[in-house]
Each structure stands twice: as structure tokens, then as C-alpha cells.
Amino acid sequence: MAVTATPVESTSQMQLQVGTDESGDPIIRTRSFSRVKPDAADADVFAVAKGLESLQEHLLVKVRRVNEIELTETV
């Protein structure tokens, strides 16, 4: 059985440190940007997130990309 993977959707997430709690641990919030082209290069998605960093009030901690892929059986 062969399976074909087809990219369907992609989302970029920026994790921002918005402060610290009473014990000094960082408080992280996530901003998500949907409708990223599934075939966009990872370097381009990262570059856009870095470009948006200067528009944020808080410190950028991490950039994530979440891909949704449809799997179909090929005969």
C-alpha cells in the first residue's frame, strides 16, 4: 500500500514572553497566523516572523510552523 501526502494548510506561530510569574518563570503567549501557503519555504516563514518581531511589544521566544497534511492511499 502506497500513501500520498498532500499539504493542505499551514500556520505560523510566534511564542512571546509577556512577563514572569511570581516564582520568576516566564509567561508565554502564542500568536497564530493562519493561511500560510503550504509550499512556502521554512526560511521565508521564519523571516516573516522575525520581521513581525519589531512590531511586537514582547520578546519573541520561539517560531513554530504547524502543517496539516492529507494522507490518501494510492493504488
pLDDT tens profile 29-46:
999 999 999 999 999 999
Within 1-75, strands assigned E span 2-20, 26-36, 59-74
For the chain, the C-alpha Rg in angstroms (whole number) is 16
- Global confidence as pTM: 0.82
Residue 75 reports pLDDT greater than 90? no
